[in-house]
Amino acid sequence: MLDPDRVETSIELQERSYRLLKWVNSRLQDGTLGFNVAHHAMSAAEAAEEWIGRHWASLPLDTRPAEEQLPSFARLFASYLTTSFELREDPSPVLVSRCGCFCSWCSYLAAGTHLRTKKVTRKAKENAREMKRVYLQGLVSDLALEPGAIALDPLIDDPSLSQQIALATYATELIRRSEFASQGVGVLALWREVAWEGGAPKKKFRLDPMKVFEAEARVQEALQASA
């Protein structure tokens, strides 16, 4: 089951990462950010942590996590970029003129306005469905219900429950992303289920910890009723 403290912390870090991306884009336009460190031997998360740490003093306060949260924040920020966006083809890539590092982190961050939102593919939706199934299996175990006694697919497909399952699963994956790595396109598909409507982002949508806890409580009730 979801831990309230970890949910609230992960959501706060995600919000800070979004504000940081907006700030980075504005600084790229006026040429005040530097990309002069090679990250060839680093993962995207490690490169993000190095870059954020190097620019720490110049980052707006509302984008900075607590110093002890920097590794988790860097993992979330790196996965947010690479999971949600893709590089547009450009005849004169921004990266070439700025530094000699061609790691995925610099490629995405330096691209700035050359980033475009990824489309949710059929594979992404299939991955998201499997994440939901894994989440429900974990909840069955936490509730000490008999494994295999509950048909999970009908619950996933239930229109009255689908949003709650998607929200609770996304929160679970958000915590995991802050600790390890992203599950890629499946996470993007989950986010679209939660934060988009009618093919566009919901206006003024904010991931609310209380809504997450309410969603998981509703899913628990459904599992227990199906046992």
How many whole angstroms separate alpha carbon 199 and alpha carbon 45? 30
Write down how long the chain is: 227
Q: Which H helix or E strand runs over 197? A: strand 196-197
- Please state the rounded mean pLDDT for residues 152-179: 95
Greater model confidence, 111 or 69: 69
pLDDT mean over 139-147: 93
Pairing of strands 196-197, 115-117: unpaired
Region of poorest pLDDT, from 20-29, 31-40, 130-139, 204-213? 31-40
| Residue (of 174, 203, 199, 178) closest to 186 by Cα position | 174
Provide the pLDDT for residue 39. 39
pLDDT band at 28 (very low <50, low <70, confident <90, very high): low
pLDDT higher than threshold 80 for residue 139: yes
Choose among 166, 144, 161, 176: nearest CA to 212: 166
**Cα-to-chain-centroid distance, residue 50:** 20
Q: Any bridge partners for residue 87, and if so which?
A: 115
On whether the CB atoms of residues 152 and 90 are closer than 8 A, the answer is no
Q: What are the start-end ranges of the H helices in the chain? A: 4-30, 44-54, 70-84, 104-111, 122-142, 152-157, 162-179, 185-195, 209-226
